[in-house]
Chains A and B, each alone.
Chain A
Amino acid sequence: MRYVKLPKENIYDFLERLKDYGKLYAPVKISEKFYDFREVDDVKKIEFHYNRTIMPPKKFFFLPREKMFEFSISKAEYKETIENVEPFVVFGLHACDIFALKIMDTIYLDEFPDKYYKVRREKGIIIGISCMPDEYCFCNLRETDFADDGFDLFLHELPDGYLVRVGTPIGHRIVDKSIKLFEEVTSQDICDFREFEKKREESFKYHEDWGSLRYLLELEMEHPMWDEQSELCLACGNCNTTCPTCRCYEVQDIPNLDGDTGVRIRRWDSCQLRSHGLVAGNHNFRPTKRSRFMNRYLCKNSYNEKLGLSYCVGCGRCTYFCPAGISFVKNLRTIMGLEDKSCPPEISEEIPKRGFAYGGAKQ
């Protein structure tokens, strides 16, 4: 990997130059408590120290709502409606969000690549930045706290600038075109980088092994936590909207007023809504709030085989933005017996764990 240093006094020049590659999006403060990726004109407004944006960067590639087709109804014809996507730059992603995009890629760029996602992914330049965790962060437990790839450039904060890792040919080009802004990395920079990483590692709230989580979640499907916590859930879907790896979408055909044309649109969906598992004849595969609540926990903690990671990257958004104050981490730690050490928990009756399956079951 190639490493260069961006001295502090050159950062705004560098950001200004990024606009040569397309529209520049970066984290900005949008209210007292919230940050979001927005198009920036004045690079001085960019926030270098934020913990999480309200909307995850998936929004640049998998649009909250987008038109897929236009129909001519009487002719039974349709036209693809993929707009001409111009190159753009997203500056300031944290490692967890970069991992989240890699997870999105495993879904949207698999053997049936989703064209709408792909054209944007190909045009998006990704520039990462280092971060200091707050009490909501647990990317260290998800092993998504340090991105090895998935970025064009990655900036690590130093006392007097940034140590920059160059990840792709585009990254090299960006550096080379502004080479006057950069310097060679010095021995002192390496010490500072090491110091930063050490401090960061120590700042995480939890240092523990979650290796058994997947199995315990499955074995503890009757744990009282599920009833207690799903009872508090408002089913608003904020956890899905803000999650950088939630990728469920709903599709709708909408006829126009002329009656002969129409559009097919898709928009983000949430598994916490009743409609997610509803089929014709009013049958619902996830009829209760508890079953939908549990679904998110199981989905996010299932195993992405291509990356060897869970679908949750530990960004903390679903807890931070939950209006009911439900803590994802606390609930997972409860299941792992890390919150309350008594085992088994108080149970009213023993519920069969289904290991006997069907034939030969001791009924």
Chain B
Amino acid sequence: MSDNPYALEKAKVLRVYDLTETEKLFLFRFENSEIAENWTFKPGQFVQLTIPGVGEVPISICSSPMRKGFFELCIRRIGRVTTVIHRLKPGDTVLVRGPYGNGFPVDEWEGMDLLIIAAGLGTAPLRSVFLYAMDNRWKFGNITFINTARYGKELLFYKELEAIRDLAEAENVKIIQSVTRDKEWKGLKGRPQQFIVEANTNPKKTAVTVCGPPRMYRDVFETLINYGYRPENIYVTLERRMKCGIGKCGHCNVGTSTSWKYICKDGPVFGYFDIVSTPGLLD
């Protein structure tokens, strides 16, 4: 371990998949094989990815920590650094540090049902939770994954989830994929909260994870609580500008004088009661 917390490790691009017009999935492996084999993380954690001379960006890890030796990042092309990332080809090298953040308390969820509610790019961090649960299927009860986007062509991991739908169904894993704006879409239409009623999970003993654009949370929370899901079991993962990832640069800070949080260090995963006691976390 370097004594410099900003120290970077070389990671090689192994594969690049086009997911949508603006999102690609990158498969990475650390060049140092010892690190590659031993490096691990919790679902919900993120890395800081550097393109030397261009910049560094925080990106959620979207693979399962159970699958050692590589990790995956799903990256939307939206600005300076992510545009350069999108030009990466297999064999190219980037610099990475992490993992950072608290991650989801997956160990505490053993024996519980799992309800995953994702919208847009929120699917990326929650895919890690989903794959972790699939890899540790015996640790969880029933599982429902509600994956939504505005348009069908924006649904992240649509094909991957469709491909395992039947197999998953046999294992009490329900996959619901829906779009909110796409009139042409042949599949399900509707906002994520509309499908909570169809989940196969028992509200009294379900861990719920939610990730999506901030404005969706209020309705999702209200629906969940109305159906009897327990507020103490509801978790979200949030986003802010980040420059350090380790509670120093101050950019991700949010809160008020009694509850001051760093999204990078105290989060990005927060519980429902953190949100209620910390104005500014969601809005």
Taking Cβ atoms with an 8 Å cutoff, the residues of A that contact B are 68-69, 71-73, 75-78, 80, 82, 107-108, 110, 112-115, 213-215, 217-218, 221, 246-255, 261-262, 264, 266, 269, 271, 276-281, 285, 297-299, 301-303, 354, 357-361
Q: Number of contact residues on B: which range applies?
A: 35 or more
Taking Cβ atoms with an 8 Å cutoff, the residues of B that contact A are 3-8, 10, 50, 52-56, 78-79, 82, 92-95, 218, 221-222, 224-226, 231, 239-241, 243-244, 246-251, 253-260, 272, 276, 279
Given A69-B6, A251-B55: 13 more A-B contacts, CB < 8 Å: A73-B53, A107-B247, A110-B247, A115-B4, A115-B5, A213-B257, A221-B279, A247-B248, A253-B50, A269-B251, A298-B256, A299-B260, A359-B222
A279 x B241 contact (CB < 8 A): yes
Name the distance in Å between B183's Cβ and chain A's nearest Cβ: 24
Cβ contacts under 8 Å, A113 to chain B: 3, 5
A302-B260 contact, Cβ under 8 Å, with A112-B5, A276-B251 = yes
Closest 10 pairs between A and B when the two form their complex, measured CB to CB: A359-B225, A248-B250, A262-B53, A302-B260, A71-B52, A76-B93, A358-B221, A112-B5, A214-B257, A112-B246
Q: Which of B52, B94, B258, B272 has the most CB of A within 10 A?
A: B52
- Bound-complex Cα distance A264 to B249 (A): 15
A217-B257 contact, Cβ under 8 Å, with A108-B248, A247-B250, A280-B78 = yes
B95 x A280 contact (CB < 8 A): no
Cβ contacts under 8 Å, B241 to chain A: 276-279, 285
A303 x B93 contact (CB < 8 A): no
Name the distance in Å between B13's Cβ and chain A's nearest Cβ: 11
Cβ contacts under 8 Å, A107 to chain B: 247-248
B5 x A250 contact (CB < 8 A): no
B82 x A358 contact (CB < 8 A): no
Cβ contacts under 8 Å, A281 to chain B: 78-79
- Bound-complex Cα distance A249 to B257 (A): 21
A253-B257 contact, Cβ under 8 Å, with A78-B8, A276-B241, A359-B226 = no
Partner of A71, one of B53, B239, B247: B53
Name the distance in Å between B263's Cβ and chain A's nearest Cβ: 10
- Bound-complex Cα distance A303 to B226 (A): 35
9 A-B contacts (beta carbon < 8 Å)? A69-B8, A217-B257, A248-B249, A249-B249, A255-B54, A276-B251, A279-B241, A298-B256, A302-B256
A218 x B279 contact (CB < 8 A): yes
A250-B257 contact, Cβ under 8 Å, with A276-B251, A359-B224 = no
Output the nearest chain B residue to A213 by Cβ-Cβ distance.
B257
Cβ contacts under 8 Å, A253 to chain B: 50, 52-56
Cβ contacts under 8 Å, B94 to chain A: 76
B6 x A357 contact (CB < 8 A): no
B5 x A302 contact (CB < 8 A): no
A76 x B251 contact (CB < 8 A): no
Partner of B52, one of A78, A217, A285: A78
- Bound-complex Cα distance A360 to B225 (A): 8
A277 x B257 contact (CB < 8 A): no
Name the distance in Å between B118's Cβ and chain A's nearest Cβ: 18
Cβ contacts under 8 Å, B6 to chain A: 68-69, 115
Name the distance in Å between B14's Cβ and chain A's nearest Cβ: 15
- Bound-complex Cα distance A346 to B253 (A): 31
A114-B248 contact, Cβ under 8 Å, with A68-B6, A359-B224 = yes
Name the distance in Å between B154's Cβ and chain A's nearest Cβ: 14
- Bound-complex Cα distance A226 to B279 (A): 16
Q: Which of A73, A278, A281, A359 has the most CB of B within 10 A?
A: A359
Cβ contacts under 8 Å, A297 to chain B: 257
Name the distance in Å between B210's Cβ and chain A's nearest Cβ: 12
Name the distance in Å between A353's Cβ and chain B's nearest Cβ: 9
Partner of B257, one of A76, A82, A302, A359: A302
